[in-house]
Chain A
Amino acid sequence: MPPRTRAPKVVPSRSTVDVTAVLVAADGARWLPEALAALAASTVSPAYVVCVDNGSTDASADLLKASYDGVLELPRGTSFGAAVEAALRSAPATRWIWLLHDDAAVEPDALEALLAYAAQSPSAALLGPKVRDWADPRVLVEVGLTTDPAGHRETGLDRREYDQGQHDTVRDVLAVGTAGALVRRDVWDELGGLDAYLAVFRDDLDLGWRVNAAGHRVVVVPTARIRHARAATTGRRVLQSAGGRPGGIDRRNALYVLLAHAAGPRLLLALPRLVIACLLRAIGYLLTRQVAAAGDELAGLGSVLGRPGRLHAARRERARSRSVPPRAIRPLLARRSGRARARLEAVADWLSGGAAPGANPLGALGDAGPEGPEELAELVPPGGGALRRLLLRPGVLVTLAVALLSAVAERDLLPVRRGALLGGGLLPAPPGAGDLWASYAAAWHPAVVGTAAAAHPATAVLAALSTVLLGKAWLAVDVLVLAGPAIAAAVAYAAAGRLTSHRLLRGWAAVTWALLPTATGSIAAGRLDGAIAQIAIPPLLVAAAGLLARRRPAWRRAWGLGLALAMTAAFAPLLWLLAGLLLLAAATVTLSLRRVLCAVVVAVVPALLLLPWSADAVHHPERLLDGPGIAPTGAPTAAWHLLLLHSGGPAEPALWVTAGLLLAGLGGLLRRDAHRIALAGWGVALAGIGAAAVLQSRGHWPGVALQVAGAGLLTAGLVGGDQLRNRLAHSDFGWRQVTAAAVVVGAAVGTSAAAVSWVDRGAADPVRRGGPVVLPAFARAELATTSGLRALVLRVRPGVVGYELTGAGADLLGTGDAPLPTAQAAALDAIVADLLAARGSDAAEALATRAVRYVALPAGPSAGPYAAALDAQSGLSRRASGRTLLWRVVAPTARLTVLRPGLAAAALRGDRGPSRELLRVAPPATLPAGRESARAALPAGPPGRLLVLADAATRGWRASVDGRPLARRTAWGWAQAFDLPAEGGRLDVSYDQAPRHRALAGQLLALAFVLVLAAPAARRRRGLEVVDEEADT
């Protein structure tokens, strides 16, 4: 910087005005030369310029002295207010005071504009300029200030809002920043200047508020402009005038100002509200790992409340100077909803034209935001309103197209009909989210003959989703199944953006992904795991790639990916196995300990979060291979069908439609520059196909594995398609071009054919919308009103008769997929086989011990012989002969029965059921029971009676008579029973919930733990401002 010559006090061309300019400097040598130059260039000259240096350790004082005489040198740590006071004392009084900072550069005409407005409007006592950023003058920093009832400093501007003249009207505001503010001397003196307590931060807000309260106007004059570095706010300057962290001081001063200005009785309301809000914010900060910010909140609160005397004095002083009622000022305060609206607007902005939709799907959780006008202009077609802009974005277009296509294909499934989606693997959803939650929390489930196995974790995720969707469980299923293709297309389009910028290619990838054979197949087969995987795989892949691509992946990304994987694995546990293994393998290949550790985190988090269930899965490893709902029973297909991503299920298009995709994937391998990505894609694809082959040979649905394979193929295919035209242009026309054209045409035609075939076939069957109608209405009603009663539903299939024990109507989502212990399954098989064989067995009585009241068989030509056998079965009595043939079990059926000694002996012996003779002589007495627990009055009777619960014997059952616990027994070889005393009393039967509740609490804790670790970290802050990393560097 060239040494400046002493500036003349009066510049001939300029007029002098009745203004005292006070320039306060504190370690501002970085900005001061420019600030001084700007002041010197002002079109009008203040009558006096008083410079104050607050004991700067840098060259500030010298710089000031070089420009102006009579520089006041005050001790280090003097506040801005005190410095101004000292300056004013040293100069003759003028009508106006112009406050200047060492880090603010005024435009030449700023003072002139301020004075011009002041002359025009004498009621304005405090005038502020439009403040713009020091480094980038296009960015608005401040056009007037206000505060909301929570104490946030509001500028009314978006973050990094560009100055396009949108705020260029003179407005009355609550306050203006002190930098460049012009204040009338008489008002300044009347109010006593800046509050000495507010050494830094909020002093300006307080001053403006007081000026307003005193009946003067505070205006912002946008024609007056300054550039301001906000060195204190952005943390570029170490605070000297006040001790402590900037955040803490800021919060303290915010509270102080609010409380000092709250008029009279309003304080009583404001105080508790602020205290609670502070505490809540502190908790919020803690949860997002912003410990320092939480400390600031608490420190600010403590320091204000800890000195009530000072607050009282401040309030008295403000009450003295107040001359207008508070309601006159209230319009100048920001409303509470302002911040929420601003955030919503940011999201809307992002949706309508910020970054590409979901360009960073996981990042969208944390740091979305409009990137800048240049990027916007590039992505958004010109003209039109926000809606049009939104609709014309290619990603949105692709999503809408797939949504329309699926709406036509799903014509028979749309929720215009009554009933829930069901059929195939899908069980109907219960009425509300509460039912799902209850089912998840229950320690014992009434499915089949009752089980204590942990509920499928998908129940919890579905319950959470239904809670969000207004508590409607069916809606959650509808969204996953019916809107699945559109969502899948959207996420696939976004994910494809990582591999190519070619929009048509991305669109093709999105549609192909949404219409993969297994995608349409999992809808038709009612497979929730497939529907979820279709939505989750693209973002999971992107996130996993992000984790592997970074040199030092952030821990929170690993925790976040683990969390997302856990949510997905709740439905498709197989995905956890595959993703965990693939990620570990890939991380190991990179030879980076950090990445391997991250991969371990990702692999461990799902096991941790799904804990009660995943521990169960150790005993039943096969459960890890199936999703929720009914396990499919399809014949395996040839292995090369798997290569073409066909699982052989319903609603899959012709085999050849995926041939183009396969060839495109192979073509991706030929690309030199992105060879690694294509190889990685093929690694995923091969793992998926291999897993599918193994799954299918084990009798499981290979769909999810094929979806993984499909994602890998698409990755490789996109690599092959990206820049294809450029690459081909480099070589002479020949086989390369012909082959490439053939593959491109094949891929496009294949995807179109998949769409046509899906629309033609329709998405339904076996999944459908409606209600289970197997049981006639009267039987359903009877089962629904008497807790614990069951029905045996039979159905003749080719070569086998399928059966299921259900409660009223049918199994519901979240209740029906517990495995049955082998012994009990075998016993049930034998009973049902006997029942259908007309061999005069006691099968009906054995059913009665299982509280089966009805046996139902849908009528049909193949049902004839079995109907005859059931007719001939003693102990069954035909009740209905319509669409469903129905038999009632003659023996007394109830969930809770009391057996007399004769029957009790038979039961304890482990007979399959009571003999008809014994039943005739001493039928069991039935007692009322609830769904789980039972409470009944037990009559007295002979000794040796047995209380039998028609539920599988498990350790959790407890029973007592008048508080005396009963000895546990096993009846009929499987059922929970208790020895009964001869005397009667109050009978209580219940299941011990404590272990399940402990497990749930543990799961909740684990979830909170992972959530905190996965939460997006607060962005780097410096001082009070969030720093844009790119803008800063």
Chain B
Amino acid sequence: MSRPSLSLLIVVALLGAGITAADALPVHTSTAGTTATTADVVGASAICPDLRQDRDVLRTRVSAGVAVAAQGVTGTGRLLAQPLAAHGAPARLPVDRPGQVAVDLGSTLTGDALEVTARGPLAAGLELEQVTRGEGGSSRGLAGLRCEAPKTQAWFVGGSTQVGDSLTLVMANPDDTPALADVVVWTSDGPADTRPGRGIVIPPRKRAAFPLDQIAPDKEWLSVHVVVQRGRVAAAIRHARLDGKTPKGVEWVPQAQPPATTVVVPGLPQGPGRRILSVTNPGLDPTIVSLHLTTPDGQYVPTGMDALEVPAGTTLATELAPLTDKAPATVTVVSDGGPVIAGAFVYDLQDGPIREISYAGSAQPLSGPALLTDLVIDRPTESTLFLTALGAAATVDVTPVAIVGRDGPLPPSKRVTVPGGRMTLVKLSTFLPPGATGRLAVEVRPAPGSAPVYAARYLREHGSRGPLTTMLVLQGAAQRVPVPAVRRDPEVAVSR
């Protein structure tokens, strides 16, 4: 073989061998940056918007608790409470480890709004609840509220600004810089003028109360969107209704889920009165919605509710009372068009002219353990836990939780199975011996591997002059959050 041909062969052989070897080279993965994972929440705060106490007439209870994390975060920490306007060092709450609840906090605290912050092990699973009980006048009734973390957006469905209704948006700014918020309101007549609600300033560590009749006077079935342009606020809406001098109820409008094409409102209670579902279409195009009810007996679409038109920017109010007369129901709103928000208004009555209102908010399935920190078990009061499984059957553990300062053995926990497409009611008084009274705190935790389940609590007291009701949707505090992969990449500063 000639020299050139030989060298040609050698080069070709070298190339072939080189390619094979190169493909076999281990590919170096960059060690820069982090990988995606999940992590425990290490800091949390919540603000209860209104701590009003008025001796015998008005009493506000605040309760706080920390759920035991699914991953079993242990260790002790501090829960610090500080009224917004107050200066000086924050007060320390008695809760110092997960799985504890402290009740009746409001009586020892003064100020208009209370900020509770948790760091470290106590942050994952912090839940705060306030219940105000008024005995007369425009405050007569029970008004309960899950104290929310400060956020940059909040949606509310419910409220009215007609004669006799007083609807107040309360915004608390926990930060040291002023917050700036816009308030957008939709009503059953369409969107309200947006100008009055624009650029509301909440001073640093202050609370601002804003009457919503300034934006939408004399309207029914309001929906409110609070958009914080700068800073973060904890927003809440208080609805009080008075007919002349007759109290017609008081309630906090719960925060709703952001617009979605499927919205679940868990737990419209059974009973007399009105049950009105509000569906608001915040979009620019009309949409058709259908309402699906899930009851303890099954799921169905009520006649005439399979195709309801919701015009753009308008709230559609639908009376569900005849359907809930016999059984409670969870409502699923499905929109064919754009996303909607929804909530329900419960108008309760008893003998006599006095009425009571409560709101059922929209919900996500339970994300983890959720706490009910303030349960009063006594004769006239009945607390009911509504559990709804929309799809497959779900299993839920309801476990009593230790209340700080109240010793004694805890009642055993209960495992509740919710059949698929059914709603199950759990009377919380059954945790105590029949006839016993007392305070109770429970943790509601979906069993591992359980199908999604929606939970709400309905509290109804057969008052001497009329009913006292309030509702609470259970979500479960965020305990573990996804952490994205990050990498330092100088290109981000120059790419388009």
Contact = CB atoms under 8 A, between A and B. Distances in A.
A879 interface: yes
Contacts of A830: 34
A324 interface: no
A939 to B, nearest CB: 22
A638 B152 contact: no
B39 interface: yes
B493 A772 contact: yes
Interface string A829-845: 11011101111111000
Interface in B1-31: 2-5, 7-8, 11-12, 14-15, 18-23, 25-30
A675 B4 contact: yes
Most buried by A among B21, B22, B28: B22
A820 B19 CA distance: 35
Contacts of A774: 492-493
A335 B29 CA distance: 68
A672 B3 CA distance: 8
A670 B151 CA distance: 75
A405 interface: no
Contact of A877 (B27, B45, B177): B177
A932 interface: no
Nearest to A875: B175
Given A671-B4, A768-B496, A800-B484, A699 B232 contact: no
A427 B490 CA distance: 9
A795 interface: yes
A878 B152 contact: yes
Interface string A674-715: 010011001000100110011001110000000000000000
Given A810-B494, A877-B177, A694 B25 contact: yes
Nearest to A826: B34
A412 to B, nearest CB: 12
Contact of B487 (A800, A809, A917): A800
Contacts of B2: 672
A879 B177 CA distance: 12
Interface in B451-496: 478, 481-496
B229 A697 contact: no
Interface residues of B, number: 69
B372 interface: no
Contacts of B236: none
B38 to A, nearest CB: 8
A255 interface: no
Given A423-B495, A878-B229, A799 B36 contact: yes
B10 to A, nearest CB: 9
A801 B485 contact: yes
B28 A669 contact: no
Interface stretch (A350-358, A476-484, A866-874): A866-874
Contacts of A448: 488
Given A669-B7, A670-B5, A686-B18, A801 B23 contact: no
Contact of B41 (A640, A699, A839): A839
A466 to B, nearest CB: 19
A870 B111 CA distance: 29
Interface in A633-662: 633, 636, 638-640, 642-643
Interface of A (DSSP majority class)? mixed
A236 to B, nearest CB: 51
B274 interface: no
Most buried by A among B11, B28, B39, B494: B494
B27 A697 contact: yes
B32 interface: yes
A899 interface: no
A802 B489 contact: yes
Contact of B43 (A699, A799, A841): A841
A103 interface: no
Nearest to A836: B484
A762 interface: no
A832 B22 contact: no
Contact of A423 (B20, B27, B230, B496): B496
Nearest to A632: B491
Interface in A830-888: 830, 832-834, 836-842, 866, 868, 871-872, 874, 877-879, 881
B490 A804 contact: yes
A746 interface: no
Given A427-B490, A810-B493, A920-B176, A689 B18 contact: yes
Most buried by A among B12, B32, B89: B32
Contacts of A881: 229
Interface in B354-380: none
Most buried by A among B5, B28, B44, B492: B492
Contacts of A834: 39, 42, 483
A295 B22 CA distance: 61
Contacts of B14: 686
Contacts of B21: 693
B175 A839 contact: no
Given A820-B488, A866-B484, 13 more contacts: A422-B494, A633-B491, A642-B22, A682-B11, A766-B495, A773-B496, A811-B494, A829-B34, A829-B487, A836-B484, A839-B123, A871-B232, A874-B150
Interface of A: 422-428, 448, 630, 633, 636, 638-640, 642-643, 666, 669-672, 675, 678-679, 682, 686, 689-690, 693-694, 697-699, 766, 768, 772-774, 793-795, 797, 799-804, 806, 809-811, 816-817, 820, 825, 828-830, 832-834, 836-842, 866, 868, 871-872, 874, 877-879, 881, 890, 917, 919-920
* Across the A-B interface, the 9 shortest Cβ-Cβ residue pairs: A840-B43, A802-B489, A693-B22, A639-B22, A795-B492, A697-B25, A871-B152, A837-B483, A810-B493
Interface of B: 2-5, 7-8, 11-12, 14-15, 18-23, 25-30, 32-34, 36, 39-45, 80, 89-90, 119, 123, 149-153, 174-177, 228-232, 478, 481-496
25 contacts: A448-B488, A633-B30, A639-B19, A666-B11, A675-B7, A679-B7, A689-B15, A693-B22, A694-B25, A697-B22, A697-B25, A699-B30, A801-B485, A801-B486, A801-B487, A802-B487, A817-B490, A829-B33, A833-B34, A837-B481, A866-B484, A871-B151, A871-B152, A878-B229, A879-B230
